[in-house]
Amino acid sequence: MEDCIFCKIIKGEIPSQKVYEDDKILAFRDINPAAPIHILVIPKKHIEKITDLQEEDSSYITHIFLKMKEIAKQEGFAEKGFRVISNCGKESGQEVMHLHFHMLAGKPMGPLLAK
């Protein structure tokens, strides 16, 4: 089966503006930013979405959240604050079926949901 877009980004087959990378995860700038700063954080393992997570994947999730803390400091928005979103499935509007966490920052975020 063909790799998904984010697996291709991980392999370097599609270029991305990397913010952070290690052996488990990659963080890069969203191609269609919804805020002045919009970073996507993904596991290097292809997991489609939250509802596909298995117990054995827990280290990815812990790692992602701990690294989001570092990315927020590195990118200078830890102090002012930011929002983290992970869309899961059809009604959420998930477009890319590779688990990802949106980090949105750089302006007041306003209400949680668009009406």
Residue range at the interface with ligand DGP (CB under 6 A); choices 55-63, 65-73, 92-100, 107-115: 92-100
Among 93, 108, 110, 111, binds ligand DGP (CB under 6 A): 93
Q: Which is nearer to ligand DGP, 55 or 112 (CB)?
A: 112
Q: Which is nearer to ligand DGP, 29 or 44 (CB)?
A: 29
Chain centroid offset of residue 85 CA: 8
Tokens of 72: 């927020």
Which residue(s) pair with 27 in the sheet?
A: 20, 41
Binding residues for ligand DGP, how many (CB under 6 A)? 14
> In the window 10-49, what residues touch ligand DGP (CB under 6 A)?
14, 16, 28-32, 40
Dump the DSSP string for 31-77.
SS-SSSEEEEEEESS----GGG--GGGHHHHHHHHHHHHHHHHHTT-
Contacts of 40 (CB under 8 A, 6+ apart): 6, 27, 28, 29, 30, 100, 101, 102, 103
Is 100 part of the annotated catalytic residue set?
yes
Out of 38, 46, 98, 100, the active site residue is 100
Residues of this chain that interact with ligand DGP (CB under 6 A) are 5, 14, 16, 28-32, 40, 87, 93-96
Catalytic residues: 100
